């Protein structure tokens, strides 16, 4: 990375006027240092998937697993495994394969990435940042002022790694500030790519803030997800397999209190209605045993909210509410056409019977993200994806992988966002230049 001299007083840049209102969380810095950082990163020279950056993320993976709090948090453990050297090597290989298909195109970093992280998924900001880092960019990551213990621990680990890592320290800042359009606009003037993670309200508030004419943007607004299970195959499955399905579904449901965009809100039981009802009842009983096995206790606020929400549904629609399971509430919807897409969260699971997978298609729209599945054959899934994808669906993955991060997210390849393509044509191939 090459530095740039500080601007003359008459050349003050937008971020100079707001730096005093930004709190740097990691690496440790002050307002003056933040201004210098933003100025210096206007010029960046970094190679995508450089060895030094791969090594940095490998050390971060080990540090997350070594942290007493984070190694007890399943989502943080999943993050650490995603950052491990073997996984990063696969990403590097994918980058090389994709680059090889376009020999006349050179992939270079976008330059500077502004990440506006969500508050409902603790670990997501690290995934977003890590991809930008791998692709050779500098980043500013804005976090909520109401971050919990997991985010604080992740920042503590990042700060510790950065204290011994010049590459990480020189090219990244994790910050927080209140809801202040002036600050976000100033940071947007700095960036070459802006990533907005959040609900539709967040996207609507930030998207109007201008970007430089050369900059790009990717937004991730509110999404809805659900599961599909073959009722007859589930009913005929051995007990240990049904337990495995419940364990995987537990992860999808409870890691982020069912508030992640990819957390399932509905289970569609595909098959005869008389089989679907019994399968759903067994599924609930098995899921409750998994809740007890893990010692999971929902918060009082979640328990009260989901129960009140279920009572509201019972008062307005034809449903049967099951309250016998302490870990969650089951709502059995009798009229599939009355099913809405409001999100309760906190462990409210709706069950719906559908004779065939095709009967789920009318429920799909462009606000949907992830379908998790069990017992459905690959050909049926691909046929469903061909039709549902055109309506808006983004992902179809096995139950247990709803929250697994992937570089293809919401229908876009995120590495493409973090890189620019420079087309190079002509010249004498195979001959060295006579001079630089």
Query: In the beta sheet, which residues pair with residue 431?
Result: none
Q: Report if residue 433 sits inside a domain.
A: no
Q: What is the pLDDT of residue 432?
A: 55
Q: Are residues 163 and 288 in the same domain?
A: no
Tens of pLDDT, residue by residue over 192-206, are: 999 999 889 999 999
Percent of the chain whose pLDDT exceeds 90: 84
Tens of pLDDT, residue by residue over 330-364, are: 999 988 888 899 999 999 999 999 999 999 999 99
At 233, which helix (H) or strand (E)? helix 231-236
Q: Are residues 65 and 167 in the same domain?
A: yes
Q: What is the pLDDT of residue 1?
A: 47
Q: Are residues 204 and 341 in the same domain?
A: no
**What number is the average pLDDT over the span 18-29?**
94
Q: Are residues 316 and 360 in the same domain?
A: yes
DSSP secondary structure code for residue 153 in this structure: H
Residue 77 belongs to a domain with what CATH number? 3.40.605.10
Q: Are residues 212 and 251 in the same domain?
A: no
Longest CA span, the chain: 82
Q: Report if residue 435 sits inside a domain.
A: no
Q: What is the pLDDT of residue 56?
A: 97
The residue with greater pLDDT, 392 or 158, is: 158
Q: Report if residue 436 sits inside a domain.
A: no
Q: Which residues span the domain enclosing 18?
A: 9-222
Mean pLDDT of the chain: 93
Structural domain count, the chain: 2
Q: Inform me whether the pLDDT recorded for 8 exceeds 60.
A: no
The residue with greater pLDDT, 185 or 3, is: 185
How far CA 321 is from CA of 94, 203, 287, 427, in Å, comes to 47, 34, 16, 71
Q: Report if residue 418 sits inside a domain.
A: no
Q: Are residues 211 and 230 in the same domain?
A: no
Where is the domain boundary, 191, 222, 253? 222
Q: Inform me whether the pLDDT recorded for 133 exceeds 60.
A: yes
Q: Are residues 338 and 214 in the same domain?
A: no
Nearest-Å Rg of the Cα atoms of the chain is 24
Q: Are residues 228 and 129 in the same domain?
A: no
Where is the domain boundary, 181, 207, 222? 222
Where is the domain boundary, 180, 198, 222? 222
Least confident of 25-29, 113-117, 199-203, 388-392: 388-392
Q: What is the pLDDT of residue 2?
A: 45
Q: Are residues 30 and 52 in the same domain?
A: yes
- The Cα–Cα gap between 37 and 175 comes to 13
Q: Are residues 75 and 215 in the same domain?
A: yes
Q: Report if residue 423 sits inside a domain.
A: no
Instruction: Check if the beta carbon of residue 151 is closer than 8 Å to that of residue 122.
Output: yes
Q: Report if residue 115 sits inside a domain.
A: yes
Q: What is the pLDDT of residue 238?
A: 98
Residue 389 belongs to a domain with what CATH number? 3.40.309.10
How far CA 360 is from CA of 100, 160, 295, 393, in Å, comes to 40, 48, 34, 12
- The Cα–Cα gap between 240 and 381 comes to 24
Q: Are residues 274 and 380 in the same domain?
A: yes
Q: Inform me whether the pLDDT recorded for 10 exceeds 70.
A: no
Q: Report if residue 234 sits inside a domain.
A: yes
Tens of pLDDT, residue by residue over 81-91, are: 999 999 999 99
Q: Report if residue 192 sits inside a domain.
A: yes
For 279, half-sphere exposure in the C-beta direction (CA atoms, 13 angstrom radius) is 29
Q: What is the pLDDT of residue 146?
A: 87
Q: Are residues 167 and 214 in the same domain?
A: yes
Instruction: Give the pLDDT band (50/70/90) at residue 207.
Output: very high
Residue 410 region, left (φ>0) first, then alpha (ψ -120 to 50), else beta? left
Q: What is the pLDDT of residue 160?
A: 97
Q: What is the pLDDT of residue 7?
A: 53
Tens of pLDDT, residue by residue over 209-266, are: 999 999 999 999 999 999 999 999 999 999 999 999 999 999 999 999 999 999 999 9
Neighbours of 207 (CB within 10 A): 13
């Amino acid at each position: 990375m090459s530095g740039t001299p500080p601007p003359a007083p008459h050349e003050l840049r937008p971020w100079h006027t707001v730096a005093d209102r930004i709190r740097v969380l990691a690496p440790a810095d002050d307002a003056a240092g933040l201004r210098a950082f933003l100025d210096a990163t206007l010029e960046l020279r970094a190679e995508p998937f450089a060895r030094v950056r791969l090594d940095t993320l490998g050390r971060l993976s080990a540090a997350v697993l070594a942290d007493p709090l984070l190694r007890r948090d399943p989502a943080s453990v999943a993050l650490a495994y995603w950052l491990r050297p073997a996984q990063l090597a696969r990403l590097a290989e994918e980058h090389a394969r994709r680059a090889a298909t376009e020999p006349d195109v050179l992939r270079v970093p976008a330059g500077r990435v502004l990440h506006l992280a969500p508050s409902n998924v603790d670990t997501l900001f690290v995934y977003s940042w890590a991809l930008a880092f791998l692709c050779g960019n500098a980043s500013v990551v804005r976090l909520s002022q109401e971050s919990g213990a997991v985010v604080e621990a992740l920042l503590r680990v990042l700060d510790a790694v950065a204290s011994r890592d010049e590459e990480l320290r020189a090219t990244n800042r994790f910050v927080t500030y209140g809801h202040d359009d002036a600050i976000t606009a100033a940071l947007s003037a700095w960036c070459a790519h802006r990533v907005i993670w959040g609900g539709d309200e967040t996207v609507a508030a930030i998207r109007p803030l201008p970007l430089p004419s050369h900059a790009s943007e990717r937004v991730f607004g509110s999404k809805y997800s659900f599961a599909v299970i073959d009722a007859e195959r589930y009913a005929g499955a051995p007990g240990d397999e049904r337990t495995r399905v419940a364990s995987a579904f537990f992860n999808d449901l409870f890691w982020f209190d069912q508030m992640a965009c990819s957390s399932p809100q509905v289970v569609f039981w595909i098959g005869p209605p008389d089989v679907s009802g019994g399968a759903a009842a067994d599924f609930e009983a098995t899921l409750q045993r998994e809740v007890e096995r893990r010692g999971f206790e929902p918060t009082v606020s979640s328990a009260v909210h989901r129960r009140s929400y279920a009572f509201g549904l019972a008062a307005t629609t034809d449903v049967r509410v099951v309250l016998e399971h302490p870990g969650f509430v089951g709502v059995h919807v009798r009229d599939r056409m009355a099913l809405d897409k409001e999100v309760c969260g906190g462990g409210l699971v709706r069950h719906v019977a559908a004779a065939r997978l095709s009967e789920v298609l009318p429920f799909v729209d462009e606000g949907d993200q992830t379908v998790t599945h069990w017992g459905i054959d690959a050909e049926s899934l691909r046929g469903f994806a061909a039709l549902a994808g055109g309506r808006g669906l983004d992902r179809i993955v096995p139950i247990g992988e709803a929250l697994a991060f992937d570089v293809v997210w919401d229908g876009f390849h995120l590495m493409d966002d973090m890189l620019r393509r420079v087309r190079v044509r002509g010249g004498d191939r195979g001959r060295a230049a006579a001079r630089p």
